[in-house]
Structure 1
Amino acid sequence: MRRLRLCRVWLLSVSIGIGSLVGGTGCTSVRQVIGRELVPVQTEIELGQKLARQVEAEHRVLRDPALQRYVRFLAQPLIDQAWVDRPGIDYRLTVLDDDAQVNAFALPGGPMYVFTGLLLLADDEAEVAGVLAHELGHVVARHSANQLGTQFGVQLLMAIALGEAPEELAQMGAQIAGAGAMARFSRDDERQADDYGVAYTAAAGYDPGGLVTLFEKMGRLQSAPGTSIERFLASHPATDERIARIQRRVDRLGPGGERRAERYLEMTASLR
């Protein structure tokens, strides 16, 4: 597996805002500049754990140990990349059983979820890897934590994390679980997560173009009946401009990376 620091991936491109070049000595550590540090890290982690319990009470966790292991295996090289940029986080991935939900999301502090509907839409490992790497980018850059800190206030989040505001926790958890996502991220947050997504998938040995092809599919299926794809697109709008921007990033990296379609279809056959 190629080992590639995020900032090295973009030596041929402009800075993504968090991993910029400093003189001729290399890259500023992502850990030095991530987020605005609105929410204390321990609060973020404890809040994420509590919200994860809420999500798993609202949604059915897939009862297929083999498929759970496979999806986590698929994600592990991406998590290894995220760990370099933000260590000390439990990046825990769980598959939720809902074929109508074409969605994936990450909570503050590391818990991540992908619905079976998204696994069914994808045709290969690279497409799933692109989305998961994007969600990892939100965790690494602390987008979810800072978003909640801005929305609810840091003091309330600290109280929830300490178990002192159970009603507010229930309301927040129900809101996130019901939407199957965090609230809509800013355009800058989405671009930053896209950049992480492309960088992490490439560094992990996947074809980074997987994120492009999956977003293109989502755009085509947006109006299809019987799916909840609009929930993902509401917080991750797949506009033509955004897809083109991701494609430019991919093009700068040049050809390479694995799609692994045959193995993916074999391992997810139980869903089909």
Structure 2
Amino acid sequence: MQRLAYTPVWVLTLFCLVFLSSCEDNDGVIFSIQDDIKLGEQVSHEIDSTYRAQGILIERTSSNANVQKAYQNLDRIINRVLSSGEVKYRNEFPWTVKIIKDDKTLNAFATPGGHIYVYTGLIKFLQDEDHFAGVLAHEIAHADLRHSVKQLQRDYGIAILLSVALGNDPGTLTQIAAQLAGSLAGLKFSRTAETEADEKSVSYLSGSSYYACDGAAGFFIKMEQESQQGTPPEFLSTHPNPDNRIQHIQQLAQQKGCSTASAPDNDFNQLKSALNL
């Protein structure tokens, strides 16, 4: 990784132009969408294996009727966001979402390539489907804007990431999976990246024509209230909350003139019921 850090800029630029799509057309990432997908598959497989070994991965393939019902409700919520017409890589990424049975963790995260994980602690904590959709929209934005791979590219370098994507570096793969899942202090996004994800959440929810487009603001308000009462939730340790974040989402919603009327909570309530939360 140190050797790559001192690689001349012209070499990386030539690599980007010759071996991948151009940086300008590739979201400013020296990493192709196909490699994004490969990396996401590797990381998701590692995360699944880890949580499965711990007995807390709620399997989508389970024959349990309640689990099947939970995923049906969760899929309806996330598909409304994905079908907004605003998700750039809607058709390229697999956009899988999985539930982690951990009632004490108020968190969600996304891997490169659109694999999303939600903890039951977050589902249990929230009461409003708009707020939950805001969380999902925010995480979809991190994947769609390729924030994770941009940060990992800075942390590990393009050569190492490509090696991980090809399945040739299991040690680094385990480290990346743990980092994304938060057990290694989480993946720290810049304030700019967080702002971009917040702004995209407004566009996604607005495009859904179903959810309040400022749903993410309601979620952060509740999270902020929780942090004032004690230890900040895990989500706020991996998603820093600048003072003006809530106001920015609300102002953007007002500027766009999108609906802030609350959607029915049917799917979210049924999700919680199916999980006994």
| Range class of TM-score, shorter chain | 0.7 to 0.9
Map of 1:73 onto structure 2: 76
Alignment of 1:209-228 (within 5 A): 209-222=214-227
2:84 alignment partner AA: Q
Q: Which has the larger radius of gyration?
A: 2
Pair 101,36 (structure 1): closer, same or farther in 2 beyond 3 Å = same
Structure 2 residue 108 is matched with structure 1 residue 104: yes
Conserved 8 A contact 1:143-1:189:
yes
3-state secondary structure, aligned to 2:118: strand
Gaps of 5+ in 1: 1-31
Map of 1:153 onto structure 2: 157
Gaps of 5+ in 2: 1-23, 60-66
1:78 alignment partner AA: V
Structure 2 residue 44 is matched with structure 1 residue 52: yes
3-state secondary structure, aligned to 2:98: strand
Following TM superposition, by how much is the alpha carbon of 1:251 offset from its aligned partner in structure 2, in angstroms?
A: 2.1
3-state secondary structure, aligned to 2:40: helix
Conserved 8 A contact 1:107-1:182:
no
1:88 alignment partner AA: E
Q: Root-mean-square deviation (CA), in Å? A: 2.4
Deviations 1:135-154 (A, max 9, x none): 11111111111110111000
1:208 alignment partner AA: C
Map of 2:7 onto structure 1: none
Instruction: Name the % identity.
Output: 29
Conserved 8 A contact 1:210-1:259:
no
Map of 1:250 onto structure 2: 253
Distance in 2 between the 1:257 and 1:163 partners?
46
Q: 1:133 aligns with which of 137, 145, 162?
A: 137
Map of 2:88 onto structure 1: 85
Deviates more, 1:76-85 or 1:212-221: 76-85
Distance in 2 between the 1:180 and 1:132 partners?
22
3-state secondary structure, aligned to 2:43: helix
Pair 97,228 (structure 1): closer, same or farther in 2 beyond 3 Å = farther
1:150 alignment partner AA: R
Distance in 1 between the 2:26 and 2:133 partners?
22
Q: TM-score, normalised by structure 2?
A: 0.79
1:38 alignment partner AA: I
Aligned length: 240
Distance in 2 between the 1:142 and 1:82 partners?
18
Conserved 8 A contact 1:105-1:181:
no
Structure 2 residue 199 is matched with structure 1 residue 207: no
Distance in 1 between the 2:170 and 2:241 partners?
35
1:101 alignment partner AA: T
